[in-house]
Chains A and B, each alone.
Chain A
């Protein structure tokens, strides 16, 4: 059962205020995923503070770096059920995990950060993993 939207709103805003587009419907997920060119990161947001409490600030820190994906979006597991299910349908071989982060290049999944790789770590450690992925796959920004 989803939590109260009042409770969840700050968790949504923690990502959206960093430029992460929130996908609330299956149609929005399709539109995001069907854009295949370039790099895209999809964050599966979650209420549980045990891991999501580090995932969100980790994503924010990573997005502050020199390189970042062309497009960044999120779905909220346990809240926006249909959107999350649709997002997971694009990575059918990956067991459901929340929070988690999927990274795509030209429409192909090239990296996945599951919940168990977030648990017990701090935001800087999570950001470091993501920054390495950005360095490998994202273009250097034009000056």
Chain B
């Protein structure tokens, strides 16, 4: 059974980790990525040190079982993006 989503980038539908130039790191399901930034569905935002966890500690935690969404939709401007990687690759 194929996908219903067409004309989207290769990360469409993929859960990604977006590291930012600030203290925030974001995880969510990528809708699309273009010159404006990345558009995510069902996203969570973690601030470095929140709950005693660094960004990487947070990433390792969500890589195991997933994450609780805090935002239905989120857009991160391109100039704030340091890296985008697949959560499944962690």
Contacts and interface: CB of A to CB of B under 8 A. Distances in A.
B interface residue count range (under 10 / 10 to 19 / 20 to 34 / 35 or more):
10 to 19
Interface of B: 1-5, 12-15, 63, 65-69, 86-88
A10 interface: yes
A119 B65 contact: no
21 contacts: A10-B1, A11-B1, A14-B1, A48-B3, A49-B1, A49-B2, A49-B5, A50-B5, A53-B3, A56-B1, A94-B66, A95-B65, A95-B68, A114-B65, A115-B15, A116-B14, A117-B88, A118-B88, A119-B14, A119-B15, A119-B86
Nearest to B2: A49
B1 A121 contact: no
A92 to B, nearest CB: 11
Interface of A: 10-11, 14, 47-53, 56, 93-97, 112, 114-121
